[in-house]
Amino acid sequence: MITRKMMASISGLTVIILILSIEKIKLSWEVRTLHNNYENFRVENENLKDLNLRLVTQYHIENSPASIEKAAKESLLMEKKNPKRITLNE
C-alpha cells in the first residue's frame, strides 16, 4: 500500500520536476534571446566597419592636396603664382 510518506515524497518530487521544467523553459528562452542579440550585434558591427571604411576613405579624399587646391581655386578664387626668375649678374 501507498503510505502517506510515499505520497508526500511523490508529490514533492512532482513539484520539483515541475519547477525544474519551468526553469529549463526560461533558460532556453534566455539563450535564444542572447543568440538573437549576438546576431544583431554582429550585423551591426559589420555595418559600422563598412561605414568606418567609407568615412576614412572620404576623409583622405577630401584632405588630399589636389582637393584642397581645387577648392582654393574654385571657391576662394586663388591662383597659383608662377615662380620668379632669378638671374645672376656676374
Put simply, whether the predicted model's pTM sits higher than 0.75 gets the answer no
Show Cβ contacts of residue 72 under 8 Å, excluding neighbours closer than 6 positions: 78
* Residue 56 domain flag: yes
Quote the mean pLDDT of the chain. Answer: 91
Domain assignment present for residue 80? The answer is: no
pLDDT of residue 40: 98
* Residue span of the structural domain in which 49 resides: 26-73
In this prediction, residue 86 carries a pLDDT of: 80
Tally of domains in the chain:
1
Please indicate, yes or no, if residue 67 is contained in any of the structural domains: yes
Residue 66 lies in a domain: yes
Residue type, 84: K
